[in-house]
Amino acid sequence: MAGTSNSRYRALLFDCDGTIADSMPLHYVAWSKALGEHGCEFPEDVFYRWGGMPAAEIIRTLADQQGLNLPVEEVEHRKEQLYYELLPRLEAVPEVLEHIDLNHGHIPMAVVSGSTRESVTKSLEILGLLDKFDTLVCAGDYSRSKPDPEPFLVAARQLNVAPADCLVFEDTEMGIQAATAAGMASVKILQPWERKTRPR
């Protein structure tokens, strides 16, 4: 990602979990515990593959796959509660933080997430970044989630910038597909284990 020039773009759009916030490991702990209370398994590789999918959709899909009758809202609230308990341990992804700091006040920036507005807001507050963004597009602000382009198109519209002039930062394949479908350029952020093994 080093050396990415943002100068030709008129807006930067960032996913939150796993892109701005190194929160995916914390989310996975919360998911495992919340689902485990109902005898539901969520393999770690599937969790990362489904990054960007709204929580209710994850719960319904796992329930269907495992033949379980999960109380969707209850599990969703429990997962959020467990995540909030882990939030004090949250850190930002350093390379992404650099882009946010460099571009703040120069071009508009948005967060485009599959998480709830409350979850995204809390994560950004913990990291001291909430005031850096012009708009937040979260679960409930669009009808079709990533890999559909709608979440990114909503953000571009709110910032009043053409999709072709937006650069997206994403950590999941679903997110990259959504950005491409929206006609936007994108930068892939490494997953936590990729960042650990990468030579400095």
Q: What is the pLDDT of residues 47-89, one digit of tens each?
A: 988 888 889 999 999 999 999 999 999 999 999 999 999 999 9
Q: Higher model confidence: residue 90 or residue 197? A: 90
Share of the chain above pLDDT 90, in %: 84
Sign for the CA dihedral angle at 111, 112, 114, 116 comes to positive
Q: Give mean pLDDT, residues 88-111.
A: 95
* Domain boundaries defined on the chain: 11-23+90-197, 24-88
**Average pLDDT for residues 168-195, to the nearest whole number?**
91
Predicted pLDDT at 195: 64
pLDDT exceeds 60 at position 3 = no
**The pTM is what?**
0.85
Q: What is the DSSP string of 6-57?
A: -TT-SEEEE-TBTTTB--HHHHHHHHHHHHHTTT----HHHHHHTTT--HHH
Q: Average pLDDT of 132-153?
A: 96
Q: Which residue has the higher pLDDT, 59 or 194?
A: 59
**Mean of all residue pLDDT scores within the chain:** 92
pLDDT attached to residue 6? 60
Q: Is 131 designated active site?
A: no
For residue 92, what is the enclosing H or E element? none
Fold of the 11-23+90-197 domain: Rossmann fold (3.40.50)
Average pLDDT in the 27-33 region? 96
Residue 67 carries which DSSP code? T
- The architecture of the domain spanning 24-88 is Orthogonal Bundle (1.10)
Whether the CB-CB separation of 42 and 35 falls below 8 Å is answered with: yes
pLDDT of 53 reads 87
Active-site annotation holder among 15, 17, 22, 171: 15
User: Phi/psi of residue 187, each to 5°?
Assistant: -125, 130
Confidence (pLDDT) at 2: 41
Q: Confidence class of residue 35 from pLDDT cuts 50, 70 and 90? A: very high
> Above 90 in pLDDT, residue 131?
yes
For residue 196, pLDDT beyond 70: no
Mean pLDDT value across residues 151-155: 98
- Exposure letters 170-189 (e unless 16+ CB within 10 A, then b): bbbbbbbbbbebbebebbbb
Starting at the earlier edge strand, list the strands of the sheet with 11-14: 135-137, 109-112, 11-14, 166-170, 185-188
Question: Residue 20 phi/psi, 5° resolution?
Answer: -80, -50
